[in-house]
Amino acid sequence: MQNQYKRLMRKCITLAKKSYGRVSPNPLVGCVIFDDDFNIVSEGRHEKYGENHAERNAILNAPCDVKGLSLVVNLEPCCHHGKTPPCADLIIEKGIKKVVIGMVDPNPVVAGKGIEKLKKAGIDVVVGVLEDECRELNKIFIKNQVVKKPYITIKTATTLDGKIVGRTRKPEKITDEVSRYEVQKLRNQYDAILTSSKTVINDNPYLTCRMKSGRNPIRVVLDTNLSTLASSNVYNNDGTKVIIMTSDKISNEKVKQYPENIEVIKCGTKNNHIDLNCAMEILYKKGIKSILVETGAILNKSFIEEDLMDELIQFIAPKVMGDDTAINWVSGFDREYISKCNNLKIMSTKILKKDIMIVCKSKN
């Protein structure tokens, strides 16, 4: 029976992933309804923020009366009124006899109360099926609920010896087209993509999502002295929200050089650079719950040094630069011994067409 539950939970997770980039700040949720022979009768997912939750869609999509059937969902059904009515109440009303749940909802408004309500109604409840996979699926939502901060991932593309640009400092493609497509998929998953003024000046990136049916994340540039040109590609008025975070010492006159589609936010500084903790707090309050950092060595170092990085995704091409003047993806730490390194936990490795993709989590 457990194997059948796991099979159905994997289906829920697959369904939920189809809503990447569409449901934030809500969690990713998929749901299936099944009969006594473990045949899937109906399925649904939370498709867009503010719209029906996965359980409600699965029930609405059912071709028959769901009374006496069972339901699998990767996150505990809600028991409170938000944008939509409580899913736990609907499950009880429709006569579902068993509910299999991946993980308890970390939202303190729910946090076990939905499970308790189902049990009190006489429904058989199973909790914790593929819990690790379910938690990984909603890692962003969990961090948001537990510590009220954005989930931050640093993305890099390097040679085998960790280089991101050669001595000419001219931007070049390091990885192949398959790796670059994986990056577009990542951009589609995050609320915002963040970079530095130095990267904008040197590389003049667009920072858009160039995949079919993808959506552009909010673009955020950390520019302490407002040194980036208003004509930079990243500031194009393509309907995507653009934010510049600058020093609180910058004059309003200097801010006026940027087009009206750009929001300039003044922020405190630390060591003559934007105070990252202050900046992340501001962005979180503005509804940005997840951030993909695509930048250079110094800012990467700062995110790690300030203990702000949750995850590192590194695309490594089978190339060796072998030049001490080339730039590493991270630099600036004052470490004398390897024993003083930041230790990360490797979560997965994936061999792509030519390159390798490594996903690591911070242990801090």
Reduced to 3 states (helix: H, G, I; strand: E, B; else coil), residue 29 is coil
| Cα–Cα distance, 258 to 40 (Å, whole number) | 54
- List phi, psi (to 5°) of 89: -65, -40
The CA radius of gyration of the chain, in Å to the nearest whole number, is 23
Catalytic residue list contains 55: yes
| Cα–Cα distance, 359 to 186 (Å, whole number) | 12
Reduced to 3 states (helix: H, G, I; strand: E, B; else coil), residue 53 is coil
Nearest to 163 by CA among 316, 337, 339: 316
> What are the b/e assignments for 165-189, b being 16+ CB within 10 Å?
beeeeeeeebbeeebbebbeebbbb
Catalytic residue among 43, 47, 51, 55: 55
E strand spans, 202-301: 218-222, 242-247, 262-267, 269-270, 273-274, 290-293
Pairing of strands 262-267, 218-222: unpaired
Reduced to 3 states (helix: H, G, I; strand: E, B; else coil), residue 45 is strand
Reduced to 3 states (helix: H, G, I; strand: E, B; else coil), residue 277 is helix
For the chain, what is the largest distance between any 2 Cα atoms, rounded to a whole number of angstroms?
70
In the structure encoding, which two tokens stand for residue 155, read together?
Answer: 């993305």
Cα-Cα-Cα-Cα torsion 298, 300, 301, 302, nearest 10 degrees, comes to 90
Task: Cite the active site residues.
Answer: 55
